[in-house]
Structures are given as C-alpha cells and as structure tokens.
Amino acid sequence: MSEMLSAAEGRKVLSRDDAEDVGSVKTAVFDDRVQRIVSLHVSGRRRHAALVEWADIAGFGPDAVVIASVDRLREAHDDESDAVRGKIDPPGARILDDAGDQHGVVRDIRFDPDSGHVEAIVGDGGEWQPHEVCALGSFALVVRHRG
C-alpha cells in the first residue's frame, strides 16, 4: 500500500521503548536522486533539527510513526541542513528536464511506507518515476527529457 508524503507530514512520532511522543513528521530527506527516503525530519521539543534514519523506523502507520528509541534521533549533518531547512524539498520544487523544458512543480511524492522507496513524483504534468530523476537541488528537480 502506498503513502503520500503530504499525508505523512504532521503525523505523530512515538518511541517504541516508552511510547513517548517525540514530535511529528515535518518532512522527509531523500537520497540525491529521490529514489528513497533516507531519514525523516521530526519536529518537536528539541532545539536543533532532529532526524531519524529510515532503518530506525519500527512502524509507519496511518496514525503514527514509531521509531525504535528516542536515542535514535540525531542532529542534521552539514550535508543535510539544506534539506531540513526546506531549501531542498521536492514538494513545491520546479520540475525541469535535462533539455531545459519546464514541467510545472512537484505536488507530492508517493512512497512505500515499509521500505521508504519512492514510487512516483507527482507533478503538474503527471507522474515521474524515480529512475527518471537526474538530480534534486535548491533550484529544481531535474528529470530526463521524454522526447
């Protein structure tokens, strides 16, 4: 069963160890080609951006995301800081192909909640498969030209 990123944002995040409410899903951090979610940005009581690796997610349900332990939350590394500050975030990003043509903006991302693998990038002009993504940056999501 697929999940939409927009539906997951704001979802409660709980610790499996003690059922502590540690915050909520703010956004996802993707690998550089948007093929899978590598971590979730959890907003909550911590001063700094807290990330949890996808491997430390014990369950991804419709009401809550369960992480293995509060100890699994960590601060963002330098190479992740733009992603957690929203500077590199697929939803809302322009879609450009490698020939320079514009294709609107990213509206949502469909992913597998068990594995974190991206199934499709949903944009104004339709859906893009992860293998069609060339790069994601602060300016745009770049996809292969469909010529």
Structural domains for the chain: 3-84 (2.30.30.240), 94-143 (2.30.30.240)
pLDDT value of residue 90:
82
pLDDT value of residue 33:
81
pLDDT value of residue 147:
79
pLDDT value of residue 7:
97
E strand spans, the chain: 3-4, 12-15, 21-30, 37-43, 50-53, 57-60, 64-67, 74-75, 94-97, 102-111, 118-123, 126-128, 133-136, 140-143
pLDDT value of residue 88:
57
Q: What is the mean pLDDT of each run of 10 residues along the chain (147 residues)?
A: 95 93 91 88 77 95 94 79 59 92 95 96 94 89 92
Torsion of CA 35, 89, 49, 60, to 10 degrees: -50
pLDDT value of residue 81:
56
Q: How far apart are CA 53 and CA 104, in angstroms?
A: 30
